[in-house]
């Protein structure tokens, strides 16, 4: 399918999605959000085992949501715009394959929220993260208050959201907002290396692990443990489990088929 603001490439069973609106530093407007949502709706989780999300250019992952579109919104329109962004990011979060955000520059506002909707975040050494919305008279509207508190803890999330300050790559790593920092020239290569490690594993097991981790956010400890145990048991109905363990016992290597 053709998109105006998305570039799609693949390397084997890894898909690379690039948000491409360089004139606005890849800022998210309704059209781009609709395109990302459509991409998620048609993403082939049987063909691909991992998705990498990045931004076009060297300056910005996603600089934020489009302020020019938001400036004149009233209350119902503001709620509708927020619901659209939150729903699209939820689709990313719920994809059955792991999603790696390769953050190559600014990830502010909606860009930071997009990165947080991904499973794993790595960034270039020139990356900047932040939720500056309070300086515009609003709050993070694409689920940023929810995900940031869960990722880096309530105290640090409150500080960043209340002050609106941005953090550089090294601080983002220190507070747990990103998993790793690389020179910009190496970022996509490192994202692909990680994606290939993920793709080499049993896809049904990876899917099950993602399902457990995401679902357990909203459960108490006992409920989460029971849920995990149920998913764990179902893994033993797969060919991947049988073949993977047989290969291990025979000191061989398994090529998982996702069955």
Which structure tokens are listed for 123?
């960034």
77 domain-assigned = yes
Concatenated DSSP letters of 227-255: HHHHHHHHGGGSHHHHHHHHHHHTT----
- The residue written with tokens 């998305």 in the block is 6
Q: What percent of the chain has pLDDT over 70?
A: 98
257 domain-assigned = no
* 118 and 81 fall within a common domain: yes
Q: What is the pLDDT of residue 224?
A: 65
Confidence of residue 75 (pLDDT cuts 50, 70, 90): confident
The residues that are catalytic are 113, 133
Q: 45-49, 88-92, 95-99, 133-137: lowest mean pLDDT where?
A: 133-137
Over range 109-119, report the average pLDDT: 96
Number of domains in the chain: 2
* 128 and 207 fall within a common domain: no
Q: What is the pLDDT of residue 228?
A: 62
Q: What is the pLDDT of residue 73?
A: 83
* 74 and 62 fall within a common domain: yes
Q: Residue 42 is part of a domain; what is its CATH number?
A: 3.90.226.10
* 138 and 44 fall within a common domain: yes
135 domain-assigned = yes
pLDDT of 103 higher than 70: yes
Over range 211-237, report the average pLDDT: 76
Confidence of residue 102 (pLDDT cuts 50, 70, 90): very high
* 20 and 77 fall within a common domain: yes
Q: Given 3-state DSSP classes, what are the helix, strand and coil percentages for the chain, each rounded to the nearest 5?
A: 55, 15, 30
254 domain-assigned = no
Residue pair 62/26 in contact by the 8 Å Cβ criterion: yes
* 111 and 144 fall within a common domain: yes
186 domain-assigned = yes
* 217 and 147 fall within a common domain: no
pTM: 0.89
Q: What is the pLDDT of residue 221?
A: 66
Over range 103-108, report the average pLDDT: 97
* 109 and 233 fall within a common domain: no
Q: What is the pLDDT of residue 169?
A: 98
* 194 and 208 fall within a common domain: no
Which structure tokens are listed for 181?
């920092």
Angle at 130 between CA 125 and CA 131, to 5 degrees: 165
- The residue written with tokens 């993260």 in the block is 129
Which one, of 48, 144, 38, lies nearest residue 98 by Cα? Answer: 48
Mean pLDDT for all residues in the chain: 92
245 domain-assigned = yes
Q: What is the pLDDT of residue 136?
A: 86
Bridge partners, residue 180, by sequence: 122
Distance between CA atoms of residues 223 and 232, nearest Å: 14
Domain of 35? Answer: 6-199
Q: What is the pLDDT of residue 241?
A: 84
Q: What is the pLDDT of residue 63?
A: 93
* 146 and 228 fall within a common domain: no
71 domain-assigned = yes
Q: 3-17, 70-84, 123-137: lowest mean pLDDT where?
A: 70-84
Question: Residues 171-201: pLDDT tens digits?
Answer: 999 999 999 999 999 999 999 999 999 999 9
* 195 and 220 fall within a common domain: no
* 148 and 39 fall within a common domain: yes
In this structure, the number of other CB atoms found within 10 A of the CB of residue 50 comes to: 27
């Amino acid at each position: 399918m053709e998109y105006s603001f998305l570039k799609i490439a693949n390397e084997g069973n890894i898909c690379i999605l690039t948000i491409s609106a360089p004139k606005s530093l890849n800022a998210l407007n309704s059209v781009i959000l609709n395109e990302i949502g459509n991409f998620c709706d048609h993403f082939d989780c049987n063909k691909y085992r991992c998705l990498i999300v990045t931004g076009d250019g060297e300056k910005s992952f996603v600089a934020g949501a489009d302020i020019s579109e938001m400036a004149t919104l009233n209350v119902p329109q503001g709620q509708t715009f927020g619901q659209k962004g939150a729903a699209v990011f939820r689709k990313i979060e719920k994809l059955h394959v792991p999603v790696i955000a390769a953050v190559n520059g600014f990830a502010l506002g909606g860009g930071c929220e997009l990165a947080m909707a991904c499973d794993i975040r790595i960034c270039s050494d020139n990356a900047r993260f932040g939720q500056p919305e309070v300086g515009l008279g609003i709050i993070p509207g694409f689920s940023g208050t929810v995900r940031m508190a869960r990722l880096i803890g309530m105290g640090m999330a409150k500080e960043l959201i209340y002050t609106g300050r941005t953090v550089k790559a090294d601080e983002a790593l220190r507070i747990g907002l990103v998993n790793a920092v690389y020179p910009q020239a190496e970022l996509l290569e490192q994202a692909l290396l990680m994606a290939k490690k993920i793709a080499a594993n049993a896809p049904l097991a990876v899917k099950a692990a993602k399902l457990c981790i995401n679902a357990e956010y909203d459960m108490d400890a006992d409920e989460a443990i029971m849920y995990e145990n149920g998913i764990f048991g179902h893994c033993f109905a797969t060919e991947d489990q049988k073949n993977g363990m047989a290969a291990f016992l025979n000191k061989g290597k398994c090529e998982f088929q996702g069955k």
